[in-house]
Amino acid sequence: MRKAILSSLIAIFVSFTINAQTPQELADAWDSTHITDKEPSDVRHSDLKVYLEKLRAQGVKIAEIGRSNADREIYQMEFGSGPMKVFLWSQMHGDEPTATSALIDIFSYLETHKDMPWVKELSTKLTIRAVPMLNPDGAELYTRRNLQGIDINRDALNLATPEARLLKSLQQQWRPSIAFNLHNQQELTAVGRSGKQASISFLVVYGDEAKTETDGMLRNKRIVSAMVKAIEPFIRGHIARYGDDWTPTAFGDNFSAWGTPVILIETGALVGQKELYLAKINFIAIMTAFSSLATGSEAAGSTQLYDTLPHNGSGTLVNFIFRNARRAPNGKGSNAVVDLALVSARRRASFTTSIRIARVGSVNGLRGLEEFDAAGFYVVQRFGNLAPGKLAEFYFYKMDRDIDWKAKDLTERFEPDAIFSGGMWAKGEGLLPKV
């Protein structure tokens, strides 16, 4: 009797342990185990190889499964030996790198924690394969397209690229039960009209234009709902649904059509947070998806959180807004009060960004990720006029200074009070208050 009680207690304890991976525990797991140490956009193919060597040393199964146009190796990682086949691919667009780092950390964690009950359960229920960098040439050049200038994600039917031929063959030969298509979206993508960045957007990708609601689609909606619930505490209000137009030449749509229902995850940005933070959010989301598939808990879940996600919005966010600046009376236009909206180009984290003026005058309807009140300052554009399209390199002068605006060597004779350059304060940070 006592033995029976003890063993049922053990059973309760074990099942408790299996189900006990809370989102916070997953976040802590990433914090204490992640092996990625570069910002994802700085990870080149050679850096990926360094990561993969570490994974190999841990025991992760890694195979070279193909080559790019420039003969760069394309790899696949594998974990588990269960009957349900789960496939993921990342960075088919070379400048969309966040999930690549998340996948590295996921496989590292799974391999080094395979004795934990919940990981053991994953490995007996699922076989997980992931291609961490499908477009290594694009990743090297930091471009969306491959070396032929072709968007691999519009090449699912033409198959003009070696990367697309490889991706299709991976689906056709293995026939996964579910796949995750991992991308990045623009950092200025918003959650509806909320003025908040969409840091993660999801889409359950239909397999036909009529959006037929198959069992696979419903399962994927429940899984996305579980992922939303898991990551919401970390990025509350920053989760949206990606647009679901049928794209006949894209891979997600065709994987779904070929019998592998796809979940699209698009990572955006979160102002004030580094890229690796969103790799961590990917880690939490994808681990949650694995867990809900392995335990079958998704079957009892609801599609509601997915169904009620706000849609992605665009056209409302800019990187910076300066409000109430006054044009300097230096002969280049009147000294009117203007608002300035600025946007920056996508870039690697370690590269200087080019920031351009998007709007001068009224910025009604726009919200800046960062906003400054420039009231009381004259603004001088370093290169020519304050006009849309120009680089945003600004000198700010307090209005109560006595300045000869016609001076040829203006900035040498009259040092600016604040300088905004490359999206940062080169001088006078804090002088213009944040709005």
Residues that bind Zn ion (CB under 5 A): 93, 96, 183
Helices of type H across 268-415: 275-295, 304-307, 410-413
Exposed/middle/buried for residue 420 (C-beta within 10 Å: 0-12, 13-18, 19+) = buried
| Beta carbon of residue 341, minimum distance to Zn ion (angstroms, whole number) | 26
Nearer to Zn ion, 153 or 225 (CB): 153
Would you say 48 and 100 are in contact if contact means Cβ atoms under 8 Å apart? yes
Nearer to Zn ion, 27 or 265 (CB): 265
Give the distance, in angstroms, between the CA of residue 99 and the centroid of all CA atoms in the same chain.
7
| Beta carbon of residue 183, minimum distance to Zn ion (angstroms, whole number) | 3
| Beta carbon of residue 146, minimum distance to Zn ion (angstroms, whole number) | 12
Residue 322 dihedral angles phi and psi, to the nearest 5°: -105, 120
Nearer to Zn ion, 94 or 261 (CB): 94
| Beta carbon of residue 152, minimum distance to Zn ion (angstroms, whole number) | 9
Q: Which of 76, 79, 179 is nearest to 127 (CA)?
A: 79
Nearer to Zn ion, 98 or 291 (CB): 98
C-alpha dihedral sign at 30, 31, 35, 37: positive
Would you say 189 and 312 are in contact if contact means Cβ atoms under 8 Å apart? yes
Nearer to Zn ion, 93 or 327 (CB): 93
Would you say 75 and 135 are in contact if contact means Cβ atoms under 8 Å apart? no
Would you say 52 and 75 are in contact if contact means Cβ atoms under 8 Å apart? yes
Q: Which residues contact 15 (CB under 8 A, 6 or more apart)?
A: none
Return the residue nearest Zn ion (CB atom).
Answer: 183
Amino acid in the structure at residue 308: T
CA distances for 175 relative to 18, 179, 293, 397, angstroms: 28, 10, 17, 64
Nearer to Zn ion, 135 or 295 (CB): 135
Give the distance, in angstroms, between the CA of residue 115 and the centroid of all CA atoms in the same chain.
31
Q: Which of 287, 348, 331, 292 is nearest to 110 (CA)?
A: 287
Strands (E), 169-316: 178-184, 190-191, 200-205, 239-241, 262-267, 312-313
| Beta carbon of residue 45, minimum distance to Zn ion (angstroms, whole number) | 18
Nearer to Zn ion, 183 or 323 (CB): 183
| Beta carbon of residue 189, minimum distance to Zn ion (angstroms, whole number) | 12
| Beta carbon of residue 212, minimum distance to Zn ion (angstroms, whole number) | 24
| Beta carbon of residue 180, minimum distance to Zn ion (angstroms, whole number) | 13
**What six digits make up the tokens of 420?**
């905004």
C-alpha dihedral sign at 98, 101, 104, 109: negative
Nearer to Zn ion, 138 or 176 (CB): 138
Nearer to Zn ion, 93 or 326 (CB): 93
Nearer to Zn ion, 126 or 240 (CB): 240
Structural Rg of the chain based on CA atoms: 25
| Beta carbon of residue 25, minimum distance to Zn ion (angstroms, whole number) | 30
Helices of type H across 87-194: 98-112, 117-125, 136-141, 162-174
| Beta carbon of residue 276, minimum distance to Zn ion (angstroms, whole number) | 19
